[in-house]
Amino acid sequence: MSYKFTEDHEWVLLEGDVATIGISDYAQGQLGDVVYVEVPTVGDEITKGDELAVVESVKAASEVYSPVSGEIVDVNAELEGAPTVVNEDAMKGGWFAKVRVTNSAELNDLMDEAAYKTFIEGLDE
Amino acid sequence: MSETSSTKKTVLYNLHVELGAKMVPFAGYDMPVQYPAGILNEHLHTREAAGLFDVSHMGQVVISGENPARAIEALIPGDIQALSAGEMRYSFLTNDQGGILDDLIVTRRENDLFVVVNAACKEQDIALLTGGLAGKAEVTELTDRALVALQGPKAVDVLARYAPEVVAMSFMNYREVEIDGVPCFVTRSGYTGEDGFEISIPNDQAEEICRKLLDETEVMPIGLGARDSLRLEAGLCLYGHDLNEVTTPISAGLIWAISKRRRIEGGFPGADIIQADIANNPAMKRVGILPEGRAPAREHTVITNEAGETIGEITSGGFSPSLGIPIAMGYVPLDFSAVGTKINLLVRGKSRPAVVAKMPFVEQRYYRG
């Protein structure tokens, strides 16, 4: 299994039919110190492009959009007490939610790690 | 992250970039929003030690003439004639409706006034002052000077290494001192709630002095992000957010900035409306707000009563690094302005409980001698 990325800096890791979703290390660096994360409710249905979570830094709130459609099967409860995990471990411990995907073909449009690296290099120029 | 050709730079721009600042457009200037340490660390460091802020985007203005202190009172409700040379006061330019056009700091000097105004308003303010004082006083913008703020409990120790006489200054006092041989205007004031100084330095020496101050172990560079969270904790207003052309000073809780003489005499734009506000109480009042839970409530968040009816709006809101909880300020009807009043905040469509709270959220620690 390998990470896939959106242009909005979300990452998806698909294991079986369950996609774990978070934001990239680049994104957490841009946001700065995360002070609050609003995660979705387990059992809710989500459509690709819908708001999945909201990440608040000291200065602003940023929406995180779901790169896939499906049912929310788990959320990262640890973030409530320790939102800085998003800064410290964006690609693993800082995940937001797990979605049982209804259409895994939605992942085909996403970038792989190498393409995403090129993408963010272009942004910093 | 492209910058437009119309964005101006302060003389400290190269230093910010060298320090690794993230630059953002603010009030027409390319300004550092944060440095690599990040807003949380910068904020906490300022409360614990000392932070250096570039506020050169703000307008520095000198008003000279036969009696500039009396002349400016036609435009602001501040009691400037009561000031002795070397004293300063917070005031605001008002319009005929009693609304606030900008807030500013006026320092009375031996022969003139030294005024600092907000960056976003400075063109308007200078035009207003120039027009309003025509024939009575001359208004000159000091474009040849940078302005920095050194804030925090260690600020005085640091600055005293260069200019020992600053130790004797009290909050809201002004002195002309030499820092490393450079003539500077120093005021014991700031926008963080901490003890500290604002230092006006000739442009060509500003970077060198800032480098020296940053070399002091107590001092860290601080960006606009922490400047905002620090002033919010201190309960200080941000023009264009907590104050605007329709908020009156009384509604904003700034009656303390209008002396008894000026309340009675009036003689500034909108005096009749402000006097009526004092006599009858304004309809809305600025209050501190503590949201329950950890979700910050940002500017423009709708405030409702327990029945769900809209009663007001948050004008500044965010996270308090010092307290580790969200804090906010906003306007509510007078009936809801008592500390402890329960209100609700509509955050992303969800009603969340909050309570009207005392400000400042973090005690101010000004040096009053």
ipTM of the prediction: 0.86
Record: contact B321-A57, CB cut-off 8 A: no
Q: What is the mean pLDDT of residues B15-26?
A: 97
List of chain B residues whose C-beta atoms are within 8 Å of the C-beta of residue A64: none
DSSP state of A107: G
Kindly tell me if the per-residue pLDDT of B188 is higher than 90. yes
Q: 3-class DSSP state for residue B360?
A: coil
Alpha-carbon gap, residue B118 to B60, rounded angstroms: 9
Q: Which amino acid is at B131?
A: G
- Return the residue matching tokens 């056009």: B101
Record: contact A33-B40, CB cut-off 8 A: yes
User: Under 8 Å CB-to-CB from B215, ≥6 apart: which residues?
Assistant: none
Kindly tell me if the per-residue pLDDT of B10 is higher than 60. yes
Record: contact A61-B296, CB cut-off 8 A: yes
B136-148: string of b/e by CB count within 10 Å (b at 16+)?
Answer: ebebebbeebbbb
DSSP state of A55: E
Q: What is the mean pLDDT of residues B6-34?
A: 96
pLDDT for B138:
98
Terminal-to-terminal C-alpha distance of chain A: 31
Kindly tell me if the per-residue pLDDT of B249 is higher than 90. yes
User: Under 8 Å CB-to-CB from B25, ≥6 apart: which residues?
Assistant: B3, B4, B7, B31
What residue of A is the nearest CA neighbor of B23? A30
Kindly tell me if the per-residue pLDDT of B359 is higher than 50. yes
Please give the interface size between A and B, counted as residue pairs whose CB atoms are below 8 Å apart.
47
User: Under 8 Å CB-to-CB from B208, ≥6 apart: which residues?
Assistant: B180
- Interhelix angle B39-48/B224-233, rounded to 10 degrees, is 50
Q: What is the pLDDT of residues B275-301, one digit of tens each?
A: 999 999 999 999 999 999 999 999 999
List of chain A residues whose C-beta atoms are within 8 Å of the C-beta of residue B40: 32-33, 35, 58
Angle at B304 between CA B252 and CA B257, to 5 degrees: 5
Q: 3-class DSSP state for residue B167?
A: helix
Closest partner CB to B319 (pick from A38, A58, A123): A58
pLDDT for A123:
87
pLDDT for B6:
79
Record: contact A123-B39, CB cut-off 8 A: no
Alpha-carbon gap, residue A41 to B314, rounded angstroms: 27
Query: All domains of chain A, ordered by start, with CATH?
Result: 4-123 (2.40.50.100)
Kindly tell me if the per-residue pLDDT of B358 is higher than 70. yes
Closest partner CB to A59 (pick from B39, B295, B348): B39
Q: What is the CATH number of domain B13-56+144-233?
A: 3.30.1360.120
pLDDT for A53:
96
The domain locations on chain B are 13-56+144-233, 283-369
- pLDDT tier, B51 (very low <50, low <70, confident <90, very high otherwise): very high
Kindly tell me if the per-residue pLDDT of B331 is higher than 90. yes
Of the candidates A56, A98, A59, the one whose C-alpha atom is nearest the C-alpha of residue A76 is A98
List of chain A residues whose C-beta atoms are within 8 Å of the C-beta of residue B320: none
- pLDDT tier, A125 (very low <50, low <70, confident <90, very high otherwise): low
Contacting B with CB below 8 Å, chain A residues are 32-33, 35-36, 38, 54, 56-61, 80, 83, 123-124
Q: What is the mean pLDDT of residues B259-265?
A: 97
Min distance B40 CA to chain A CA atoms (Å): 7
- pLDDT tier, B3 (very low <50, low <70, confident <90, very high otherwise): very low
Record: contact A35-B294, CB cut-off 8 A: yes
Q: What is the pLDDT of residues B196-235, one digit of tens each?
A: 999 999 999 999 999 999 999 999 999 999 999 999 999 9
Q: What is the mean pLDDT of residues A62-76?
A: 97
Q: What is the pLDDT of residues B75-111, one digit of tens each?
A: 999 999 999 999 999 999 999 999 999 999 999 999 9
From residue A74, how far is each of A44, B205, B307, B365 by CA, in Å? Answer: 10, 58, 34, 46
pLDDT for A59:
83
Closest partner CB to A61 (pick from B225, B298, B321): B298
Does the structural domain B283-369 have CATH classification 2.40.30.110?
yes
Record: contact A58-B348, CB cut-off 8 A: no
Which of B2, B17, B314, B319 to mutate to test binding with chain A, by most A CBs within 10 Å of its CB? B319
Min distance B296 CA to chain A CA atoms (Å): 8
